[in-house]
Chain A
């Protein structure tokens, strides 16, 4: 029987999990909720992560817009996604939840804005 120690990252509680693997059957201990079990199994087979970053935006009060993957993406897709997002430029106005990149890298996951940025109004002097 193989035993693996993991820390659940589903929520900030950070449960310390123990996973036993016997005949490719996984058992999870130490989780406070069912999501911990799902996390452990997934982490040991096909780990995924949320990606949060910024992209360029024009005509807004700021020139960076925070964005995120709508759902977790495969861990190994993180840097390839960043390469794409580094080149994306959007224009204000943008609303929270607007899709800025559809189905990034064929993951089936959209990139969405995580804040609203209106068109910049230059302050009158």
Chain B
């Protein structure tokens, strides 16, 4: 019997799990996919918003501002990339100027300092590629960029280092409420827990519906599509550039990623409530993203595109985050985690862990290790360090991915850690082979070989992502 079962290993579920481990609590995380961070967490804008945007008085407003304040510290402890590069919301009209003022005012109510409205000249100086039609911008120096999946992986790994458990490929089919606990089943295995935390992303309404006949909210997927440009486009913008927000969200933006690529997107497309798997990109929508981005930024080198993707935001019927114990005893919802969900994740983790440890009357764990063990990033070492490292461990002398300069040593580390990668994309999310300009053309077969060797399975059993995403269909001469 677990004290708490968290359903969903996205950035929210894993943040909660990790924060719960600060207390003497037995935690299990259940995840439907083959890896953590496979839903909204792996396909979003990767932004830590400054927080001026979410209205004062809402949960979004509260948790965004709080999350942003602690983000740097969390990322440092967990060894996750984070850069406070600042953001600019560009105004193109008189009406937009009023919006900037309103945003600034809202931000100040939320305690966000340093917000500044810059004029056209300063804007140009800061970002020479911003459209000539932009007349002013709201500058928020505390906005930042991160790697959302890496944060979720780090949270889960650290939670596991402190004793949490993770069950992958566990798709919750039924939740049965007993008088003082729950029985959760995927159709084969039963997991029992006193409390359930529902962090199931776009499926949070369906999970809640398993215990509540009349849920007070629904979650509709809102799709956004993106382009990711090669590092050769680096510095085309140096900050996060937004247009003015609308009722559809923060608009299509252009920003650098922590790895030096340029990310462009998303659009905003409301899907049917049933389309919770519709993560495909479409020609019309990609063209729309291009058009919107070109309106904001000049001369975007779309010829340097290396991949396109789409993500689903969990749009709640209530408009605000849903965080708290539900009307069903012992069942805790964290739902509607659309933007600024990522920015809020560290704060939500702390808040929810406090609430649940309170009802459990749990004491602080005496031997909590907050830090994640060091990850070596070969490319970032100097020549002497490189030399010494290869002498110590020759696996760091074998480069697997040329584009991102990733060594076998880094890949082995990513496989053998807690919450280690077991798939091609899992390895790519953790240490980036295949994330560069050749998109795995060179390193793909080599990573598959390493995975097969380290996991002790056949090459044909290695998957790209989901459980039936096998890469090879068999050996030749065996048909």
Contact = CB atoms under 8 A, between A and B. Distances in A.
On whether A and B touch (CB less than 8 Å), the answer reads: yes
Interface of A: 54-56, 64, 86-87
Interface string B436-479: 00000000000000000000000000000000000000001100
A55 B476 CA distance: 9
5 contacts: A54-B477, A55-B477, A56-B477, A86-B477, A87-B477
Tell me if A's interface is mostly helix, strand, loop or mixed: strand
Nearest to A63: B475
Contacts of B477: 54-56, 86-87
Contacts of A86: 477
Contacts of B476: 54, 64
A120 to B, nearest CB: 15
Nearest to B477: A86
A86 B478 CA distance: 8
A87 B478 CA distance: 9
A23 to B, nearest CB: 47
Interface of B: 476-477
Contacts of A55: 477
Contacts of A64: 476
B450 to A, nearest CB: 14
A55 B477 CA distance: 8
A87 B479 CA distance: 11
3 A-B pairs with least C-beta separation: A86-B477, A56-B477, A54-B476
A111 to B, nearest CB: 14
A121 B477 CA distance: 25
Contacts of A87: 477
Nearest to A82: B477
A64 B475 CA distance: 10
Contacts of A54: 476-477
A1 B477 CA distance: 47
A92 B367 CA distance: 57
Nearest to A56: B477
Nearest to B475: A63
A86 B477 CA distance: 5
A12 B331 CA distance: 70
A27 B442 CA distance: 48
A56 B475 CA distance: 10
A86 B476 CA distance: 8
A56 B477 CA distance: 8
A53 B477 CA distance: 11
Nearest to B478: A86
A36 to B, nearest CB: 34
Nearest to A88: B477
A36 B476 CA distance: 35
B9 to A, nearest CB: 35
A58 to B, nearest CB: 13
A54 B477 CA distance: 9
A55 B478 CA distance: 11
A56 B476 CA distance: 9
Nearest to A85: B477
A87 B476 CA distance: 11
Nearest to A54: B476
A54 B476 CA distance: 9
Nearest to A89: B477
A86 B475 CA distance: 11
Nearest to B479: A86
A87 B477 CA distance: 7
A28 to B, nearest CB: 38
Contacts of A56: 477
A61 to B, nearest CB: 13
Nearest to A87: B477
A125 B476 CA distance: 30
A85 to B, nearest CB: 8
A101 B477 CA distance: 16
Nearest to A86: B477
A33 B283 CA distance: 49
